[in-house]
Amino acid sequence: MHTFVLKWPSADANLQTIDVLVSSSGTLLQTIQVPQDQVKLLWQDIDQSKDTIKDKILESEDYNFDRFADLRLTEAWPYKVGEKKYLIWLFDETLNQYVLSKPLSALGAPQPEPKARHLKTIELGAFGGGEYVERIYSVDTAGNPTVVARITQKVLSRERLTFTREVRTRVGKYLQRACRIFVPAEGVPVITWGRKRTCAPYLIKDIPDR
């Protein structure tokens, strides 16, 4: 178990370092240098929030599903809806250190799904997020992600506010069309192409969270 201490030199300065302490003893395990060209986290901006800092910018989650919690830092605060980005450090058991993962940090705010052992990203578009692109990734223990599915929803009728949703899943080296779904303004989505068993997990109505 680790404790993380975030350090700013002054109220109007950017976050500089994150000390990693062994929770049981308080021993300093590592000092992470925060990349100044990628992060904009001023103490005075964060301090105006009533919520805790940890809940807003720092989380500990397992991103490569190796049973070790990794470290996730929000790159900027405040941020616009749909534009959140993270820096992700994977815990290396051999080194006993957190190591910055450039491939995972390059993804758009990936969310771990432990049961499926997948990561998910969402790019929200027009119509209040009614248009979106969702990507699902597998990830190896080294933190290399591979897209295994892409769900793209686009408006079909602006007047009726209906959408079409296309699902592509990985077959070998390529993503191939697996489902096409009609999403009405009212009522439940309907499969227009593809097998019911394959398409059933994608028959959701709500806009994905970002």
Pick from 109, 136, 158: which residue ends a domain?
Answer: 109
pLDDT in tens, 20-75: 999 999 999 999 999 999 999 999 888 766 556 666 799 999 999 999 999 999 99
Same domain, 165 and 183: yes
Question: Quick one: pLDDT band at residue 204, thresholds 50, 70, 90?
Answer: confident
Same domain, 6 and 102: yes
Please report, to the nearest 10 degrees, the dihedral formed by the alpha carbons of residues 165, 169, 175, 178 taken in order: -60
Q: Is the pTM of this model over 0.75?
A: yes
pLDDT of residue 45: 87
Same domain, 9 and 104: yes
Q: 58-61 and 28-33 as β-strands: parallel, antiparallel, unpaired?
A: unpaired
Same domain, 131 and 63: no
pLDDT of residue 49: 60
Pick from 65, 91, 109: which residue ends a domain?
Answer: 109
pLDDT in tens, 143-171: 999 999 999 999 999 999 999 999 999 99
Report whether pLDDT(113) > 90.
yes
pLDDT in tens, 182-198: 999 999 999 999 999 99
Same domain, 69 and 23: yes
Question: Count of domains in the chain?
Answer: 2
Same domain, 2 and 105: yes
Same domain, 8 and 64: yes
Question: Quick one: pLDDT band at residue 83, thresholds 50, 70, 90?
Answer: confident
Report whether pLDDT(19) > 80.
yes
CA distance 73 to 181: 36
Which of 83, 204, 114 shows the shortest CA–CA distance to 151?
204
Pick from 65, 80, 109: which residue ends a domain?
Answer: 109
Residue 132 sits in which domain range? 111-210
- Which DSSP string do the residues of 19-88 spell out, in sequence order? EEEETTT--EEEEEEP-TTT-B-BHHHHTTSSS-HHHHHEEEE-SS-SSS-EEEEESBSS--TT---EEE
Report CA-CA distances (Å) from 146 to 149, 169, 204.
Answer: 9, 11, 24
